[in-house]
Amino acid sequence: MLEIRLNCENCDKPLPNDSDEAMICTYECTFCKDCVDHVLLNVCPNCGGGFEKRPTRPKAGLDKYPPRKDKVLKPVQHNKYLAKNQSVDPRNR
């Protein structure tokens, strides 16, 4: 089951279940679109993968499978890995 994290791991922006700004990598690391585009350069700092828009869980499923309650917050500093891999397709990193 997809883990719905309710905040950006970098800037702590709220990302509720129905947010159009939530982006995830293949391991469900969650960042806001602004951080993905301008800080992370579409490179996940945790796994090196790219990002896709996080799907919204239907309201009927939120009771059975609620969002994660605790925050994941790991602010990212721009680094050589991100800059080096921004132009490399995530499938080839």
**Domain extent at residue 61:** 22-88
Q: How many domains does the chain have?
A: 1
Q: Is residue 30 part of a domain?
A: yes
The answer, yes or no, to whether residue 80 has pLDDT greater than 90, is no
Question: What whole-number percentage of the chain has pLDDT above 90?
Answer: 74
Q: Is residue 16 part of a domain?
A: no
Q: Is residue 14 part of a domain?
A: no
Task: Write out pLDDT tens, residues 45-59.
Answer: 988 899 999 999 999
The answer, yes or no, to whether residue 79 has pLDDT greater than 80, is no
Task: Write out pLDDT tens, residues 11-28.
Answer: 999 999 999 999 999 999
For residues 80 and 44, the model is more confident at: 44
Q: Specify the pTM.
A: 0.86
43 vs 37: CA distance, rounded Å: 9
Q: H helices within 2-45, ranges in order?
A: 33-38
CB-count exposure of residue 25 (10 Å: 0-12, 13-18, 19+) = buried
